[in-house]
DNA sequence: AAGCCGTGGGT
DNA sequence: TACCCAAGGCT
């Protein structure tokens, strides 16, 4: 499982050379600012590069420094992050910024073990930041690297298991240890780039791969069945109804509670489980049903929602938990994606707002 | 350790 | 359509 010192030297040199010729031009590859690199790493967690790019630019234009992030109101954080998903990430990011200022005297920690004490920093992010921003030799093992290494050594175990992870982490560490001084970040990114563009989950381009000569899977012809995948649970189907209730250019909305497990602090239109069949519930909410407009599909983690959109009219006093939000204020508060999709449908039907 | 946390794009 | 994800971390 362990590569020889000679193999490590050759393999890393070949891949780093390949990287210099084939790397994509990405915004976070033009900076050495550890905070900016951190923002990119957090955004890229479980999120595609093409999705991240506009969010990265927008986020840094609003919060260009650790200090500006640390002092930002939570609502403005959530608003900028809205649509990117995994909203806990941005809360951890702000908590980390505040810790760096308070516990580290505003000096960005350079050591892997110091970085790992910060909220939102797991093994991967600590290794990525310490190597990319500071050149420290820690293996950043993400999903791409896991796949590349699995194929390289033709690992047939389940990469979700910690025992297998340990083996692959060990191989990754032996490789990063062999690169030249200050090249650890380049090496880690090269390995990830290979996984993202050549050693892809489906139909890997082995003919284009600079590591082909060392790849055990290519020798065995097993690259397409590595890594072995375990069947995830089927997504649970759900039905919900969103109610658009307007009055005087205002929308009836509520804010999700801070203790909510999902999307805490975000604003949303009134929503109930299932189809909206009778109007009696609506009356309690201070609404009366007018008509069903349309429906759309939206997935949230392990569930897939069939979202029905209804238009209702205001009638009497709304529940205390609801607020009238002026249309012009919608762009200043964090909205759930279901709410943004619903408002977009409305917009497409009557562009001027009603 | 396994399950949860979002989303949009590709097949 | 239904399924597969994409630079993970936390509980």
Q: What is the pLDDT of residues A228-281, one digit of tens each?
A: 887 777 899 999 999 999 999 999 999 999 999 999 999 999 999 988 766 667
pLDDT value of position A279 = 67
Over residues A191-204, the mean pLDDT reads: 96
In whole angstroms, give the CA distance from residue A152 to residue A14: 14
Rounded, the Å distance between the CA of A46 and C1' of B9 is: 14
- Which residue's CA shows the smallest distance to C1' of B6? A85
Q: Which nucleotide is nearest to A143 (CA to C1')?
A: C7
The backbone torsions φ and ψ at residue A241, rounded to the nearest 5 degrees and listed phi first, read -130, 125
Q: Which pairs with CB-CB distance under 8 Å and at least 24 residues apart come from A48-57?
A: A49/A24, A49/A196, A51/A84, A52/A84, A53/A26, A53/A27, A55/A80, A55/A81, A55/A83, A55/A84, A56/A27, A56/A28, A57/A27
Rounded, the Å distance between the CA of A315 and C1' of B1 is: 51
Over residues A209-234, the mean pLDDT reads: 91
pTM of the full structure: 0.94
With a cut of 70, say whether residue A25 has pLDDT above it: yes
Strand B, nucleotides < 7 Å from a protein CB: these are 1-2, 4-9, 11
Q: Which nucleotide is nearest to A47 (CA to C1')?
A: C6
Rounded, the Å distance between the CA of A301 and C1' of C4 is: 13
CATH 3.90.79.10 positions along chain A are 236-349
With a cut of 50, say whether residue A353 has pLDDT above it: no
- Which residue's CA shows the smallest distance to C1' of B8? A51
HEC profile of A309-324: EEEEEECCCCCCCEEE
With a cut of 60, say whether residue A1 has pLDDT above it: no
Strand C, nucleotides < 7 Å from a protein CB: these are 1-10
Q: Using the 8-state DSSP alphabet, how is residue A119 labeled?
A: T
Cα-based angle A80, A66, A141 (whole degrees, multiple of 5):
80
Of the candidates A252, A262, A269, the residue with the CA atom closest to the CA atom of residue A342: A269
Rounded, the Å distance between the CA of A320 and C1' of C6 is: 40
pLDDT value of position A290 = 74
With a cut of 90, say whether residue A320 has pLDDT above it: no
Catalytic residue numbers of A read 41
Over residues A211-217, the mean pLDDT reads: 96
Comparing A354 with A277, the larger pLDDT belongs to A277
Rounded, the Å distance between the CA of A326 and C1' of C7 is: 39
Footprint of strand C on the protein (CB under 7 A): A 26, 28-29, 40-41, 44-49, 86, 88, 92, 119-126, 128, 142-144, 147, 189, 192-193, 195-196, 200-201, 229, 231-232, 234-235, 297, 299
Over residues A134-160, the mean pLDDT reads: 96
* Topology (CATH) of A236-349: Nucleoside Triphosphate Pyrophosphohydrolase (3.90.79)
Over residues A24-48, the mean pLDDT reads: 97
Which residues contact residue A213 at a Cβ distance below 8 angstroms, ignoring those fewer than 6 apart?
A: none
In whole angstroms, give the CA distance from residue A323 to residue A340: 17
* Topology (CATH) of A5-225: Endonuclease III; domain 1 (1.10.340)
pLDDT value of position A133 = 98
pLDDT value of position A354 = 45
- Which residue's CA shows the smallest distance to C1' of B3? A302
How many CB atoms neighbour CB A58 within 10 A?
13
Over residues A99-118, the mean pLDDT reads: 98
Footprint of strand B on the protein (CB under 7 A): A 46-48, 50-51, 82-88, 160-162, 202, 233, 261-263, 298-302, 336-338, 341
Rounded, the Å distance between the CA of A162 and C1' of B1 is: 9
| Beta-ladder partners of A311 | A244, A291
Q: Which two tokens stand for residue A330?
A: 């919608």
With a cut of 50, say whether residue A322 has pLDDT above it: yes
Written as one string, the DSSP assignment of A34-99 is HHHHHHHHHHTTTS-HHHHHHHHHHHHHH--SHHHHHTS-HHHHHHHHTTS--THHHHHHHHHHHH
**Quick one: pLDDT band at residue A282, thresholds 50, 70, 90?**
confident
CATH 1.10.340.30 positions along chain A are 5-225
């Amino acid at each position: 499982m362990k590569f020889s010192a000679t193999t490590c030297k050759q393999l890393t040199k070949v891949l780093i050379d390949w990287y210099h010729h084939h790397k994509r031009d990405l915004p976070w590859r033009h900076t050495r600012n550890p905070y900016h690199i951190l923002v990119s790493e957090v955004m890229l967690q479980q999120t595609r590069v093409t999705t991240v790019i506009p969010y990265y630019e927008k986020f840094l234009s609003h919060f260009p420094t650790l200090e500006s992030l640390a002092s930002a109101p939570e609502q403005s954080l959530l608003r900028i992050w809205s649509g990117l998903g995994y909203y806990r990430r941005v809360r951890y990011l702000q908590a980390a910024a505040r810790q760096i200022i308070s516990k580290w005297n505003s000096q960005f920690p350079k050591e892997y073990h110091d970085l790992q004490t910060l909220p939102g920093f797991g093994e991967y992010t600590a290794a990525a930041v310490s190597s990319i921003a500071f050149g420290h030799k820690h293996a950043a093992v993400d999903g791409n690297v896991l796949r590349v290494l699995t194929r390289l050594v033709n690992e047939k175990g389940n990469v979700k298991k910690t025992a297998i992870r340990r083996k692959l982490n060990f191989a990754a560490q032996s490789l990063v240890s062999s690169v030249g001084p200050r090249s650890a970040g380049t090496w880690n990114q090269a390995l990830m780039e290979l996984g993202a563009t050549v050693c892809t989950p489906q139909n890997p381009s082995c003919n284009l791969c600079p590591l082909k000569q060392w790849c055990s899977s290519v020798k065995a012809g097993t690259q397409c069945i590595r890594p072995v995948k375990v069947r995830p649970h089927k997504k649970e189907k759900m039905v919900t109804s969103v109610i658009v209730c307007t009055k005087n250019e205002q929308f009836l909305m509520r804010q999700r509670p801070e203790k909510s497990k999902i999307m805490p602090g975000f604003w949303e239109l009134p929503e109930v489980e299932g189809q909206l069949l009778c109007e009696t519930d609506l009356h309690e909410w201070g609404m009366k049903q007018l008509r069903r407009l349309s429906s759309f599909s939206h997935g949230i983690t392990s569930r897939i929602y069939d979202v029905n959109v209804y238009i209702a009219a205001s009638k009497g006093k709304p529940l205390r938990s609801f607020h009238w939000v002026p249309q012009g204020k919608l762009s200043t508060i964090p909205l759930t994606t279901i709410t943004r999709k619903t408002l977009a449908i409305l917009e497409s039907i009557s562009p001027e707002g009603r």
